[in-house]
């Protein structure tokens, strides 16, 4: 490592030139990376709902649809709007009454099935079929154009529309997320650092790994919009402490009298060795998300783990080059740091470890119980602003047609017309089902289905399956809809053992069942991985328990707060926060434990070692933790997307809680349990000297 450090210092200008040149392919890769806005597509492909979704897409061209509710529009104007919509690129068909019979036929003369399917009290309904899946660029562009064709008192709703709304909102807010994260982090760093220029250099240094991370996402094929929105903010907050550690070590070496080049070489070597364990725990925490069956976890986990690894690499190559290049300017613009070492706090903690721990354990009891009872919601659309076009249009479907959620049921093509009608009747008998019908069931008595146009006939039967559309008055992700789907599945399987139910409701039900299992898997995996890394680093059986328990207690407090405030969390937030908070803030615990061990090896008593570790680590932990807090709290404050707001609020609050636990509680544990640590740790007080070994023999 010494040779590499020397090479970086000697060739720092070359390092910066290569770093800038690598930004070119990174930017190209970032621009070419597809962003997926449909979380439901991350479900395991072997589920019935996903198999049905694939059939809808491949055979029926129904994997992406939109619903247009039209209120009080003259027939001629409605037909004109319909024709205009059909001309939009990416729209396969706009299906309405005129595709079946003469639209001038008086409503009361229409068959009952058509009346029920096409008309509400004061509205009529059109179905828009898109050529490609909901999350595709073609469909997104088509929806954006359709919005511009809507006349007064017409509303566009459905999954495809809501996904396009989500894309537009994320695209609009993303620059604000980055601006808030960078601005707030700079403010904290200006207070924490002793030079006005250092925070700017830190941000310049972080631009490189962030853009490299975005660019290398190209090789993943696509990333989710959640990953895109969070990765910059999280990478900035998680990897900033690496930069702080490097600078502090560089300043320390210079104070010892080393020339700046030699000081930086030592700083690179020492920083790399000191952040190896902390970066590995962070990477392990993120990679634990890859154990989720919901592959959204793998998406977030790989991108963030890759970002941390790139952050480490750039911290020991690009940042030293920047600091040395601008060293004179850094020295010129020095000022007093505002964030201090907590000397009085450290003295109080070391003097009263027993009472502090007792109070903390009492506080932990209600939070431990509360965190398991925090309410979680799975209705993804509830996390979006309710004034979006797609949300308003979907709500209109409920008001005018009792159609909150649509179920698509696929049965074998050999099912007779009588059995098909009987199944539809049984489904309509279920509570909350407003209508269940096939296209052929909507036709007038005696009408030959073989005379239907090809695109209409495709809605009735395709790919060896017949299609039933069932409308539900219940929202996706609710207990009522889950119970309804269970009863529907029983009826469908009884009529056709190969039958499947798909659509937003069925996929959300699967999402709920998988998420509960994923939550347990991710927690166990992340804790086990971090525990193992700390065990190998400290060669101790007790230190991993203390460090992981400290962070887990902070996570319990963080997750328990929403129970007491009466807030619900989106399901993905409850899964992600455990790994993010553990992986990102266990660094503080490792830093504290390492310093405590160092002070004990210098001969200090457990009390004095705890006081020194708390005092000297507090400034670094405060600087890093407050930067992490600042980077995420701004996004929580401005985001209109409840999903991102909740995740960032949990992360920012978790950073503060972890800071408190590591600065106040962990030194107490280390001080009181030092005898246990000595007995369960290899060479806790250092290797015995040759004389000691000879005397022992």
pLDDT tens-digit series, residues 670-691: 999 999 999 999 888 876 654 3
Q: Which residues of 141-163 are buried (b: 16+ CB within 10 A; e: fewer)?
A: ebbbbbbebbeeebbbbbbbbbb
The SS3 call for residue 70 is strand
Domain boundaries, the chain: 1-32+193-338, 48-165, 340-379+515-697, 395-509
Asked if residue 532 has pLDDT above 80, the reply is yes
Asked if residue 167 has pLDDT above 70, the reply is yes
Q: How confident is the model at residue 697 (pLDDT cuts 50, 70, 90)?
A: very low
Instruction: State the Cα torsion 628-630-632-636 to the nearest 10°.
Output: 160
Asked which of 247-261, 444-458, 622-636 is least confident by mean pLDDT, the reply is: 444-458
Average pLDDT over residues 491-514: 88
Tell me, letter by letter, the H, E, C secondary structure of 428-454.
Answer: HCCCCEEEEECHHHHCCCCCCHHHCCH
The predicted-structure confidence for 330-357, as pLDDT tens digits, reads as follows: 877 776 767 778 889 999 999 999 999 9
Rounded to the nearest 5°, which phi and psi values hold at 487?
-70, -40
Asked if residue 442 has pLDDT above 50, the reply is yes
Rounded to the nearest 5°, which phi and psi values hold at 444?
-60, 155
The predicted-structure confidence for 152-161, as pLDDT tens digits, reads as follows: 888 998 888 8
The predicted-structure confidence for 536-571, as pLDDT tens digits, reads as follows: 888 999 999 999 999 999 999 999 999 998 888 888
Average pLDDT over residues 651-668: 92
Determine what percent of the chain is predicted with pLDDT higher than 90: 25
CATH architecture for the domain at 395-509:
2-Layer Sandwich (3.30)
Average pLDDT over residues 633-658: 88
Q: How confident is the model at residue 439 (pLDDT cuts 50, 70, 90)?
A: low
Average pLDDT over residues 626-649: 87
Separation CA 73–CA 80 (nearest Å): 11
Say how many residues make up the chain: 697
Asked if residue 176 has pLDDT above 50, the reply is yes
- CATH superfamily membership of 1-32+193-338: Multidrug efflux transporter AcrB transmembrane domain (1.20.1640.10)
Residue 67's pLDDT is what? 87
- The residues pairing with 681 across neighbouring beta strands, listed in sequence order, are 540
505: nearest Cα among 525, 523, 526, 488:
488
| The two domains 48-165 and 395-509 share their CATH topology (first three levels equal) | yes
Separation CA 331–CA 93 (nearest Å): 68
Six token digits for residue 390: 């797609």
Across the chain, mean pLDDT equals: 85
Residue 17's pLDDT is what? 93
Q: How far apart are the first and last CA of the chain?
A: 37
Residue 691's pLDDT is what? 38
Asked if residue 444 has pLDDT above 70, the reply is no
Determine what percent of the chain is predicted with pLDDT higher than 70: 94
The label of the residue with tokens 């509680």 reads: 665
* CATH number of this structure's domain 48-165, picked from the four choices 3.30.70, 1.10.730, 3.90.1200, 1.10.1220: 3.30.70
Burial (CB < 10 A; 0-12, 13-18, 19+), residue 57, is: middle
Asked if residue 696 has pLDDT above 70, the reply is no
Question: pTM of the predicted model, to two decimals?
Answer: 0.82
CATH topology of domain 340-379+515-697: Multidrug efflux transporter AcrB transmembrane fold (1.20.1640)
Q: How confident is the model at residue 693 (pLDDT cuts 50, 70, 90)?
A: very low
Residue 695's pLDDT is what? 40
Between 212 and 507, the more confident residue is: 212
Residue 123's pLDDT is what? 86
């Amino acid at each position: 490592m010494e040779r590499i450090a020397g090479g970086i210092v000697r060739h720092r200008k070359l390092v910066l030139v290569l770093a800038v040149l690598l930004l070119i392919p990174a930017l190209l890769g970032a621009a070419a990376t597809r962003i997926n806005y449909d979380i439901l597509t991350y479900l395991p492909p072997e589920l019935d709902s996903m198999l049905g979704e694939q059939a809808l897409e491949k055979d029926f061209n129904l994997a992406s649809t939109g619903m247009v509710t039209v209120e009080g529009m003259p027939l001629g104007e409605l037909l004109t709007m319909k024709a205009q919509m059909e001309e939009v690129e990416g729209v396969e068909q706009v299906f309405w009454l005129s595709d079946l019979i003469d639209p001038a036929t008086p409503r009361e003369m229409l068959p009952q099935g058509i009346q029920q399917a096409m008309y509400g009290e004061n509205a009529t309904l059109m179905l828009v079929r898109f050529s490609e899946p909901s999350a595709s660029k073609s469909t997104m562009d088509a929806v954006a154009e359709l919005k511009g064709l809507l006349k007064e008192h017409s509303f566009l709703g459905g999954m495809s529309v809501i996904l396009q709304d989500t894309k537009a909102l994320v695209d609009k807010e993303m620059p604000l997320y980055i601006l808030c994260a960078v601005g707030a982090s700079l403010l904290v760093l200006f207070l924490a650092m002793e030079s006005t220029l250092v925070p700017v250099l830190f941000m310049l240094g972080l631009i490189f790994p962030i853009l490299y991370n975005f660019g290398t996402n190209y090789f993943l094929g696509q990333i989710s919009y959640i990953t895109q929105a969070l990765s910059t903010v999280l990478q900035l907050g998680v990897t900033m402490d690496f930069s702080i550690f490097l600078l502090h070590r560089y300043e320390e070496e210079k104070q010892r009298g080393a020339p700046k080049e030699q000081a930086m070489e030592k700083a690179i070597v020492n920083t790399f060795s000191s952040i190896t364990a902390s970066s590995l725990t962070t990477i392990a925490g993120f990679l634990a998300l890859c154990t989720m069956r919901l592959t959204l976890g793998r998406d977030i986990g790989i991108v963030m783990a890759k970002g941390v690894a790139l952050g480490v690499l750039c911290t020991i190559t690009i940042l030293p080059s920047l600091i040395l290049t601008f060293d004179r300017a850094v020295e010129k613009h020095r000022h007093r740091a505002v964030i201090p070492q907590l000397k009085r706090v450290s003295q109080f903690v070391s003097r009263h470890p027993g009472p502090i721990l007792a109070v903390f354990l009492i506080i932990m009891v209600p939070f431990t119980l509360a965190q398991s009872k925090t309410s979680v919601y799975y209705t993804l659309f509830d996390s979006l602003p309710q004034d979006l076009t797609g949300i308003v249009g979907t709500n209109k479907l409920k008001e005018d047609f009792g159609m909150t959620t649509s179920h698509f049921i696929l049965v074998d093509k050999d099912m007779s017309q009588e059995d098909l009608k009987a199944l539809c009747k049984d489904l309509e008998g279920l509570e909350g089902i407003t209508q269940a019908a096939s296209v052929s069931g909507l036709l007038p008595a005696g009408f030959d289905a073989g005379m239907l146009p090809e695109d209409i006939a495709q809605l009735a039967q395709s790919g060896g399956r017949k299609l039933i559309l069932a409308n539900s008055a219940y929202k996706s992700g609710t207990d009522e809809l889950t119970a309804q789907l269970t009863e529907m599945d029983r009826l469908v399987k009884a009529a056709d053992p190969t039958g499947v139910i798909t659509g937003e409701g069925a996929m959300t039900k699967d999402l709920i069942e998988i998420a509960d299992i994923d939550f347990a898997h991710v927690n166990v995996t992340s804790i086990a991985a971090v525990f193992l890394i700390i065990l190998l680093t400290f060669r101790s059986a007790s230190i991993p328990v203390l460090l992981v328990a400290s962070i887990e207690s902070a996570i319990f407090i963080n997750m328990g707060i929403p129970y007491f405030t009466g807030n619900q969390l989106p399901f993905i937030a409850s899964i992600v926060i455990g790994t993010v908070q553990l992986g990102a803030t266990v660094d503080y615990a490792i830093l504290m434990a390492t310093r405590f061990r160092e002070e004990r090896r210098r001969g200090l008593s457990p009390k004095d070692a705890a006081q020194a570790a708390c005092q000297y680590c507090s400034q670094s932990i405060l600087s890093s933790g407050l930067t992490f807090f600042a980077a995420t709290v701004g996004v929580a404050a401005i985001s209109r997307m409840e999903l991102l707001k909740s995740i960032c609020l949990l992360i920012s609050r978790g950073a503060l809680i972890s800071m408190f636990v590591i600065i106040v509680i962990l030194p107490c544990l280390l001080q009181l349990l030092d005898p246990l640590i000595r007995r369960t740790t290899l060479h806790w007080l250092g290797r015995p000297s040759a004389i000691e070994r000879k005397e022992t023999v």
